Amino acid sequence: MDSDKRVLIGMSGGIDSSAACMILQEQGYEVIGLTMRMWDLPRHFPNEGQSIPQFAIEAKELAEKIGIEHHILDVRDDFKRTVIKSFTDEYLKGNTPNPCVLCNKQFKWHYLLQEADRLNCQWVATGHYARISRKNNHFILNRGADPKKDQSYFLWRLGQQELARTIFPLGDITKEEIKQYVEKKGFHEKVEKKESMEVCFIPGDYRDFLREQLPDLDREVTGGYFIDAAGRKLGQHKGFPFYTIGQRKGLEIALGKPMFVTRINPIKNTIRLGERSELLTRNMVISDVIETIPGILNTSEPVDVQIRYRSAAIPATLRKGETPNEWIVCFQSDASAVTPGQSAVIYQNDCIIGGGIIADQRLLKKYAL
């Protein structure tokens, strides 16, 4: 079979990538599976003496049952150098990172395309719930048909090079339909398997993970203060990397009313607390902005901007910033807990036209808003 019908698919051993494999087979593709071993956790090795992670074993077993070639790629060292280091670095800057966004662009698709070329595959595929369309000879990433499972938010950094060779077999299908499909195929255990919603390399609290990766962290960030909007000290905190914008629980400080983290200053090691209303804003600055099509972002057309995965996009307009890759988002209604380090994804009619990283809100001071 020629390379035009050969597709390399990322396999995690779960229901979505398994379903994607079988759908591609039915569509006439020669499917090859690739499972990346990125980060080992104790739960990946449930049996004594086990040397291969359970998810890789399950992916390989699925591949054997449906009769496709399968490869396991050990990329743990590179994953630690790139994704893990970026994750810890961002917290040390006072930001709250979104490692999945970085991983998809600079890691998963990097290796998928590299291995696809090696294995003579024209296409790569994943089990993400997203779709791809074309506009003016450019590829556009669109939301998946299932609004509850749409994962386009995590994929906004994929560029033309990646999208031109990507297939999303699940883009037009709902999760419930996938469950029924896999059940009919005889893979009941895939349907019953509980899916993890956490970051893949963090088994519990991210704070414990930071301490494991940065043994001197507690000593380096201890001794900071909670402050109010006027700068008055309210009490001591445990270190700025252990907090995130919008956090209310776990502050371990009693002030007689619910208080939230409204700002983090890593230079002064201060955490500003305020009431819920102090989390609201109509404007934010985004940096490292990427346009899907050159020149598609403008100041005249309304857009919808999504600032976290589990929240609805908010109608907004855009203003150009002082540098080419810096824009100001002007929301049409209040946005809550705008968090530096998180992704702001810009949509029009369910199509991603751009995105950026939420910057420190203090940058708003240089703009007349």
Task: Please indicate whether residue 121 is annotated as part of the active site.
Answer: no
Is residue 197 exposed (0-12), middle (13-18) or buried (19+ Cβ within 10 Å)? exposed
254 and 316 share one domain: no
**Residue 206 belongs to a domain:** no
Sign, CA torsion 38/43/49/53: negative
Q: What is the mean pLDDT of residues 278-286?
A: 97
CATH number at residue 259: 2.30.30
If asked whether residues 134 and 58 sit together in one domain, one would say yes
Can you give the residue range of the structural domain that contains 52? 3-192
Choose the catalytic residue: 21, 100, 121, 200. Answer: 200
Q: What is the CATH number of the domain that holds 179?
A: 3.40.50.620
Q: Average the pLDDT over 61-74 and give the result.
A: 96
184 and 59, same structural domain?
yes
| Residue 4 pLDDT | 82
Phi/psi class of residue 163: alpha, beta or left (left: φ > 0; alpha: ψ in -120 to 50)?
A: alpha
- Residue 11 assigned as binding residue: yes
pLDDT of 139 strictly over 70: yes
Which of 213, 248, 274 lies at the terminal end of a domain, its last residue? 274
Tokens for 310, please give them. 């589990």
Domain count, the chain: 3
297 and 169 part of one domain = no
Mean pLDDT of 291-317: 94
Residue 204 lies in a domain: no
Q: What was the pLDDT predicted at 1?
A: 52
Q: Both 249 and 179 in a single domain?
A: no
Q: Is residue 13 part of a domain?
A: yes
30 lies in the same domain as 104: yes
Q: Which residue in 103, 121, 330, 351 is the catalytic one?
A: 103
Same domain, 48 and 147: yes
Phi, psi angles (nearest 5°) of residue 30: -90, 110
* Whether residues 255 and 284 fall in one domain: no
Residues 90 and 113 in one domain: yes
Q: Check the annotation: does 259 bind a ligand.
A: no
327 within some domain:
yes
Return d(Cα 152, Cα 130) in angstroms, integer.
5
What would you report as the CA-atom Rg of the chain, rounded to the nearest whole angstrom?
A: 22
Catalytic residue at 100?
no
Is residue 34 in some structural domain?
yes
Residue 212 belongs to a domain:
no
Q: Is residue 15 marked as binding? A: yes
184: alpha, beta or left? (left if phi > 0; alpha if psi -120 to 50): alpha
**What pLDDT score was predicted for residue 3?**
61
N-term to C-term CA, the chain = 59
Question: Do 33 and 165 belong together in one domain?
Answer: yes
| CATH assignment at residue 290 | 2.40.30.10
Domain final residue, candidates 253, 274, 295: 274
Residue range 17-22: average pLDDT?
97
Q: Is residue 253 part of a domain?
A: yes
- Split at pLDDT 50, 70, 90, the class of 203 is confident
Q: Is residue 172 part of a domain?
A: yes
Annotated binding residue 67:
no
Give the CA angle between residues 361, 364, 369 to the nearest 5°. 135
Tell me the C-alpha distance between 143 and 351, whole Å: 7
Examine the pLDDT at 283 and tell me if it is beyond 90. Answer: yes
Same domain for 261 and 288:
no
Q: Tokens at residue 55, please?
A: 């998810």
Instruction: Give the rounded percent of residues in the chain with a pLDDT score beyond 90.
Output: 88
Average pLDDT for residues 292-302, to the nearest whole number?
Answer: 92
Q: What is the average pLDDT across 286-298?
A: 93
**Residue 127 labelled as part of a binding site:** yes
Q: Are residues 35 and 173 in the same domain?
A: yes
